[in-house]
Structure 1
Amino acid sequence: MDQDSPSFPVQLYIYDLSRGMARQLSPLMLGKQLDGIWHTAIVVHGEEFFYGGEGISNCPPGGTQLGEPNSIVDLGQTEVTAEIFMEYLAALGESTYRAARYLLFEHNCNTFSNEVAQFLTGSKIPAYITDLPSEVLSTPFGQALRPILDSISISPPGGSSFNGQR
Protein backbone atom coordinates (compact mmCIF):
# COMPACT_ATOMS: atom_id res chain seq x y z
CA MET A 1 0.00 0.00 0.00
CA ASP A 2 1.26 3.48 -0.84
CA GLN A 3 2.28 5.22 2.39
CA ASP A 4 0.88 8.55 1.14
CA SER A 5 -2.57 7.21 0.25
CA PRO A 6 -5.17 7.27 2.98
CA SER A 7 -6.68 3.93 3.87
CA PHE A 8 -10.06 3.16 5.38
CA PRO A 9 -11.11 0.20 7.54
CA VAL A 10 -13.53 -2.32 6.03
CA GLN A 11 -15.67 -4.52 8.27
CA LEU A 12 -18.17 -7.30 7.72
CA TYR A 13 -21.21 -7.12 9.99
CA ILE A 14 -22.78 -10.55 10.51
CA TYR A 15 -26.35 -10.97 11.77
CA ASP A 16 -28.26 -14.17 12.55
CA LEU A 17 -31.71 -13.67 11.02
CA SER A 18 -33.00 -16.66 13.00
CA ARG A 19 -31.91 -15.10 16.31
CA GLY A 20 -30.58 -18.45 17.53
CA MET A 21 -33.41 -20.62 16.22
CA ALA A 22 -31.29 -22.13 13.42
CA ARG A 23 -28.89 -23.54 15.99
CA GLN A 24 -31.77 -25.12 17.93
CA LEU A 25 -33.96 -26.38 15.08
CA SER A 26 -31.55 -27.23 12.26
CA PRO A 27 -30.54 -30.66 13.62
CA LEU A 28 -34.21 -31.69 13.74
CA MET A 29 -35.23 -30.13 10.42
CA LEU A 30 -32.10 -30.55 8.30
CA GLY A 31 -30.24 -33.34 10.04
CA LYS A 32 -27.22 -31.06 10.44
CA GLN A 33 -26.19 -28.22 12.69
CA LEU A 34 -26.40 -24.67 11.36
CA ASP A 35 -25.09 -21.93 13.60
CA GLY A 36 -27.31 -19.25 12.06
CA ILE A 37 -29.07 -17.90 9.01
CA TRP A 38 -26.61 -15.20 8.05
CA HIS A 39 -27.29 -11.69 6.80
CA THR A 40 -24.16 -9.66 6.12
CA ALA A 41 -23.31 -6.08 5.38
CA ILE A 42 -20.13 -4.17 4.57
CA VAL A 43 -19.21 -1.22 6.77
CA VAL A 44 -16.89 1.34 5.22
CA HIS A 45 -16.69 5.14 5.18
CA GLY A 46 -18.92 5.33 8.27
CA GLU A 47 -21.93 3.57 6.67
CA GLU A 48 -23.33 0.04 6.55
CA PHE A 49 -24.19 -1.20 3.04
CA PHE A 50 -26.27 -4.29 2.28
CA TYR A 51 -28.38 -5.90 -0.43
CA GLY A 52 -31.89 -7.25 -0.10
CA GLY A 53 -35.26 -7.34 -1.76
CA GLU A 54 -35.25 -3.54 -2.00
CA GLY A 55 -31.87 -3.42 -3.78
CA ILE A 56 -28.77 -1.90 -2.23
CA SER A 57 -29.45 -0.06 1.03
CA ASN A 58 -27.39 1.81 3.57
CA CYS A 59 -27.70 3.01 7.14
CA PRO A 60 -25.49 3.99 10.06
CA PRO A 61 -23.54 0.95 11.31
CA GLY A 62 -25.93 -1.30 13.27
CA GLY A 63 -28.83 0.95 12.23
CA THR A 64 -31.30 -1.62 10.89
CA GLN A 65 -33.96 -3.19 13.07
CA LEU A 66 -31.65 -6.18 13.37
CA GLY A 67 -29.78 -4.09 15.94
CA GLU A 68 -26.18 -4.82 16.77
CA PRO A 69 -24.47 -7.51 14.69
CA ASN A 70 -23.78 -10.94 16.18
CA SER A 71 -20.17 -10.53 15.12
CA ILE A 72 -17.89 -8.16 13.26
CA VAL A 73 -15.01 -9.31 11.06
CA ASP A 74 -12.24 -6.89 10.16
CA LEU A 75 -11.64 -7.44 6.45
CA GLY A 76 -8.68 -5.09 6.20
CA GLN A 77 -8.11 -1.65 4.74
CA THR A 78 -9.01 -0.07 1.42
CA GLU A 79 -7.64 2.87 -0.47
CA VAL A 80 -10.94 3.21 -2.35
CA THR A 81 -12.29 6.66 -1.58
CA ALA A 82 -15.90 7.27 -0.60
CA GLU A 83 -16.55 8.96 -3.94
CA ILE A 84 -15.23 6.03 -6.00
CA PHE A 85 -17.07 3.57 -3.76
CA MET A 86 -20.37 5.42 -4.26
CA GLU A 87 -19.88 5.32 -8.03
CA TYR A 88 -19.15 1.59 -7.82
CA LEU A 89 -22.29 0.95 -5.73
CA ALA A 90 -24.44 3.07 -8.05
CA ALA A 91 -23.25 0.95 -10.99
CA LEU A 92 -23.95 -2.28 -9.10
CA GLY A 93 -27.41 -1.00 -8.11
CA GLU A 94 -28.28 -0.35 -11.74
CA SER A 95 -27.07 -3.73 -12.96
CA THR A 96 -26.10 -6.76 -10.90
CA TYR A 97 -27.78 -5.82 -7.61
CA ARG A 98 -31.13 -4.38 -8.65
CA ALA A 99 -34.04 -5.34 -6.37
CA ALA A 100 -35.59 -7.58 -9.05
CA ARG A 101 -32.43 -9.71 -9.19
CA TYR A 102 -32.57 -10.82 -5.54
CA LEU A 103 -32.65 -14.60 -5.09
CA LEU A 104 -32.56 -16.00 -1.57
CA PHE A 105 -30.12 -18.81 -2.34
CA GLU A 106 -28.03 -17.61 -5.28
CA HIS A 107 -27.94 -13.79 -5.28
CA ASN A 108 -28.39 -12.30 -1.82
CA CYS A 109 -26.83 -10.08 0.83
CA ASN A 110 -23.94 -12.48 1.23
CA THR A 111 -23.04 -12.58 -2.47
CA PHE A 112 -23.18 -8.77 -2.40
CA SER A 113 -20.94 -8.55 0.68
CA ASN A 114 -18.50 -11.02 -0.85
CA GLU A 115 -18.26 -9.08 -4.13
CA VAL A 116 -17.90 -5.71 -2.38
CA ALA A 117 -15.28 -7.10 0.04
CA GLN A 118 -13.21 -8.32 -2.91
CA PHE A 119 -13.52 -4.94 -4.63
CA LEU A 120 -12.42 -3.06 -1.51
CA THR A 121 -9.80 -5.38 -0.02
CA GLY A 122 -9.13 -8.25 -2.44
CA SER A 123 -10.39 -10.70 0.21
CA LYS A 124 -13.53 -12.81 0.37
CA ILE A 125 -15.93 -13.08 3.29
CA PRO A 126 -15.80 -16.30 5.38
CA ALA A 127 -16.81 -19.47 3.51
CA TYR A 128 -19.17 -20.63 6.29
CA ILE A 129 -21.41 -17.72 5.22
CA THR A 130 -21.21 -18.13 1.45
CA ASP A 131 -21.56 -21.94 1.70
CA LEU A 132 -24.77 -21.82 3.78
CA PRO A 133 -27.26 -21.99 0.87
CA SER A 134 -25.64 -25.11 -0.58
CA GLU A 135 -25.58 -26.69 2.89
CA VAL A 136 -29.33 -26.14 3.28
CA LEU A 137 -30.13 -27.28 -0.26
CA SER A 138 -28.06 -30.44 0.18
CA THR A 139 -30.69 -31.77 2.60
CA PRO A 140 -34.04 -33.34 1.66
CA PHE A 141 -35.87 -30.78 3.81
CA GLY A 142 -34.00 -27.92 2.13
CA GLN A 143 -34.97 -29.27 -1.30
CA ALA A 144 -38.60 -29.64 -0.21
CA LEU A 145 -38.68 -26.06 1.09
CA ARG A 146 -36.88 -24.53 -1.87
CA PRO A 147 -40.01 -23.51 -3.85
CA ILE A 148 -41.34 -21.66 -0.80
CA LEU A 149 -37.99 -20.15 0.16
CA ASP A 150 -37.31 -18.98 -3.40
CA SER A 151 -40.28 -16.64 -3.13
CA ILE A 152 -38.88 -14.94 -0.01
CA SER A 153 -37.08 -11.64 -0.31
CA ILE A 154 -35.18 -10.39 2.73
CA SER A 155 -34.51 -6.73 3.34
CA PRO A 156 -33.85 -5.67 6.93
CA PRO A 157 -36.00 -2.68 7.91
CA GLY A 158 -34.21 0.46 8.92
CA GLY A 159 -31.98 1.04 5.93
CA SER A 160 -32.45 3.56 3.16
CA SER A 161 -32.48 2.51 -0.46
CA PHE A 162 -29.15 3.50 -1.90
CA ASN A 163 -29.24 6.06 -4.68
CA GLY A 164 -25.51 6.56 -5.22
CA GLN A 165 -25.47 9.93 -3.44
CA ARG A 166 -24.05 10.80 -0.04
Structure 2
Amino acid sequence: MRMGKLCLLLIIGLLAGFTQTVFSNAGPFSCWHCESLTQSNCGENFDVNGIEPLNCEKTKFPAHLLHIIGTLNQNVTGCMKTTTEINGEIIVRRSCFFGDVKNINPGCTPDPSSLIRHIDNCEVCEKHLCNTSSSLLRLYSHSLLEFLSITIILNIIIHKL
Protein backbone atom coordinates (compact mmCIF):
# COMPACT_ATOMS: atom_id res chain seq x y z
CA MET A 1 0.00 0.00 0.00
CA ARG A 2 2.85 2.37 0.81
CA MET A 3 4.36 1.85 -2.65
CA GLY A 4 0.98 2.66 -4.24
CA LYS A 5 0.83 6.00 -2.43
CA LEU A 6 4.34 6.82 -3.62
CA CYS A 7 3.35 6.07 -7.23
CA LEU A 8 0.23 8.20 -6.88
CA LEU A 9 2.24 11.12 -5.51
CA LEU A 10 4.78 10.84 -8.33
CA ILE A 11 2.01 10.78 -10.96
CA ILE A 12 0.34 13.85 -9.39
CA GLY A 13 3.71 15.62 -9.38
CA LEU A 14 4.26 14.83 -13.06
CA LEU A 15 0.79 16.09 -13.99
CA ALA A 16 1.27 19.28 -11.99
CA GLY A 17 4.64 19.91 -13.65
CA PHE A 18 3.20 19.28 -17.11
CA THR A 19 0.26 21.62 -16.44
CA GLN A 20 2.58 24.37 -15.18
CA THR A 21 4.81 24.02 -18.25
CA VAL A 22 1.88 24.21 -20.69
CA PHE A 23 0.12 27.16 -19.06
CA SER A 24 3.23 29.22 -18.31
CA ASN A 25 3.65 29.76 -22.07
CA ALA A 26 0.16 31.23 -22.55
CA GLY A 27 -0.19 34.81 -23.79
CA PRO A 28 2.02 36.89 -26.06
CA PHE A 29 5.62 35.82 -26.61
CA SER A 30 7.71 37.94 -24.26
CA CYS A 31 11.34 38.28 -23.22
CA TRP A 32 13.09 40.07 -20.41
CA HIS A 33 14.35 43.39 -21.72
CA CYS A 34 17.04 45.24 -19.77
CA GLU A 35 20.70 46.23 -19.66
CA SER A 36 22.96 46.00 -16.61
CA LEU A 37 24.49 49.41 -17.35
CA THR A 38 21.22 51.06 -16.35
CA GLN A 39 19.62 48.30 -14.23
CA SER A 40 21.99 46.52 -11.86
CA ASN A 41 19.51 43.66 -11.30
CA CYS A 42 19.82 42.78 -15.01
CA GLY A 43 23.37 41.46 -14.56
CA GLU A 44 24.57 37.89 -14.07
CA ASN A 45 22.63 37.72 -10.79
CA PHE A 46 19.34 38.42 -12.56
CA ASP A 47 16.45 39.64 -10.40
CA VAL A 48 13.09 40.29 -12.10
CA ASN A 49 12.02 42.89 -9.51
CA GLY A 50 11.49 46.16 -11.34
CA ILE A 51 12.00 44.64 -14.80
CA GLU A 52 8.94 44.31 -16.99
CA PRO A 53 8.75 41.64 -19.70
CA LEU A 54 8.66 43.01 -23.24
CA ASN A 55 5.96 41.80 -25.63
CA CYS A 56 8.24 40.81 -28.51
CA GLU A 57 5.37 40.53 -30.97
CA LYS A 58 4.98 44.33 -30.77
CA THR A 59 8.73 45.01 -30.99
CA LYS A 60 10.04 46.54 -34.21
CA PHE A 61 12.67 44.71 -36.18
CA PRO A 62 16.08 46.30 -35.38
CA ALA A 63 17.05 48.50 -38.34
CA HIS A 64 20.75 47.62 -38.04
CA LEU A 65 19.94 43.96 -38.81
CA LEU A 66 18.18 44.72 -42.09
CA HIS A 67 21.36 44.59 -44.18
CA ILE A 68 22.60 41.48 -42.28
CA ILE A 69 19.47 39.33 -42.10
CA GLY A 70 17.46 40.87 -44.93
CA THR A 71 13.72 41.03 -45.23
CA LEU A 72 13.02 37.28 -45.04
CA ASN A 73 13.06 36.75 -41.28
CA GLN A 74 11.81 39.87 -39.54
CA ASN A 75 9.71 38.03 -36.96
CA VAL A 76 10.79 37.46 -33.39
CA THR A 77 12.17 33.94 -33.09
CA GLY A 78 13.34 33.88 -29.48
CA CYS A 79 14.94 35.70 -26.59
CA MET A 80 18.60 36.55 -26.15
CA LYS A 81 21.08 37.35 -23.43
CA THR A 82 24.38 38.93 -24.40
CA THR A 83 27.44 39.53 -22.26
CA THR A 84 30.33 41.86 -22.97
CA GLU A 85 33.36 42.71 -20.89
CA ILE A 86 34.40 46.36 -20.98
CA ASN A 87 37.26 47.54 -18.77
CA GLY A 88 36.83 44.50 -16.51
CA GLU A 89 33.09 45.02 -16.06
CA ILE A 90 30.61 42.45 -17.37
CA ILE A 91 27.67 44.08 -19.13
CA VAL A 92 24.55 41.96 -19.65
CA ARG A 93 21.78 42.80 -22.08
CA ARG A 94 18.53 40.85 -22.40
CA SER A 95 16.09 41.34 -25.28
CA CYS A 96 14.05 39.79 -28.07
CA PHE A 97 15.92 37.90 -30.78
CA PHE A 98 15.36 38.26 -34.52
CA GLY A 99 16.96 35.79 -36.90
CA ASP A 100 17.73 32.12 -37.32
CA VAL A 101 18.07 30.37 -33.95
CA LYS A 102 20.29 27.73 -35.59
CA ASN A 103 22.70 30.42 -36.86
CA ILE A 104 22.64 33.11 -34.18
CA ASN A 105 25.66 35.18 -35.25
CA PRO A 106 23.78 37.55 -37.59
CA GLY A 107 20.97 38.15 -35.07
CA CYS A 108 23.50 38.76 -32.27
CA THR A 109 25.25 41.56 -34.15
CA PRO A 110 25.38 44.68 -31.95
CA ASP A 111 23.83 47.93 -33.10
CA PRO A 112 26.69 50.14 -34.41
CA SER A 113 25.04 53.20 -32.85
CA SER A 114 25.15 51.57 -29.40
CA LEU A 115 27.87 52.05 -26.78
CA ILE A 116 28.51 48.30 -26.95
CA ARG A 117 30.39 47.65 -30.19
CA HIS A 118 31.17 43.96 -29.66
CA ILE A 119 29.55 40.99 -27.93
CA ASP A 120 31.63 38.36 -26.13
CA ASN A 121 28.79 35.86 -25.65
CA CYS A 122 25.28 35.58 -27.06
CA GLU A 123 22.78 33.00 -25.83
CA VAL A 124 19.46 32.49 -27.64
CA CYS A 125 16.44 30.54 -26.42
CA GLU A 126 13.01 29.93 -27.93
CA LYS A 127 10.62 29.94 -24.96
CA HIS A 128 8.56 32.65 -23.30
CA LEU A 129 10.74 34.67 -20.83
CA CYS A 130 13.64 32.23 -21.22
CA ASN A 131 16.52 34.75 -21.35
CA THR A 132 17.55 34.40 -17.75
CA SER A 133 19.96 31.75 -16.51
CA SER A 134 17.70 30.97 -13.56
CA SER A 135 14.74 30.20 -15.85
CA LEU A 136 16.97 27.97 -17.99
CA LEU A 137 18.11 26.22 -14.82
CA ARG A 138 14.49 25.70 -13.74
CA LEU A 139 13.66 24.30 -17.18
CA TYR A 140 16.50 21.78 -17.08
CA SER A 141 15.93 20.78 -13.44
CA HIS A 142 12.21 20.37 -14.15
CA SER A 143 12.95 18.06 -17.11
CA LEU A 144 15.42 16.07 -15.01
CA LEU A 145 12.85 15.70 -12.23
CA GLU A 146 10.25 14.44 -14.70
CA PHE A 147 12.74 11.95 -16.18
CA LEU A 148 13.72 10.63 -12.75
CA SER A 149 10.07 10.35 -11.68
CA ILE A 150 9.14 8.37 -14.79
CA THR A 151 12.17 6.12 -14.28
CA ILE A 152 11.16 5.39 -10.68
CA ILE A 153 7.54 4.69 -11.65
CA LEU A 154 8.55 2.32 -14.45
CA ASN A 155 10.99 0.58 -12.12
CA ILE A 156 8.24 0.04 -9.54
CA ILE A 157 5.79 -1.25 -12.16
CA ILE A 158 8.36 -3.62 -13.67
CA HIS A 159 9.32 -5.04 -10.27
CA LYS A 160 5.63 -5.65 -9.38
CA LEU A 161 5.14 -7.75 -12.53
Tell me if TM exceeds 0.5. Answer: no
The structure with higher relative contact order (CA 8 Å, sep 6+) is 1
Give the TM-score, by structure 2 length.
0.26
Give the TM-score, by structure 1 length.
0.25
Larger Cα Rg: Structure 1 or Structure 2? 2
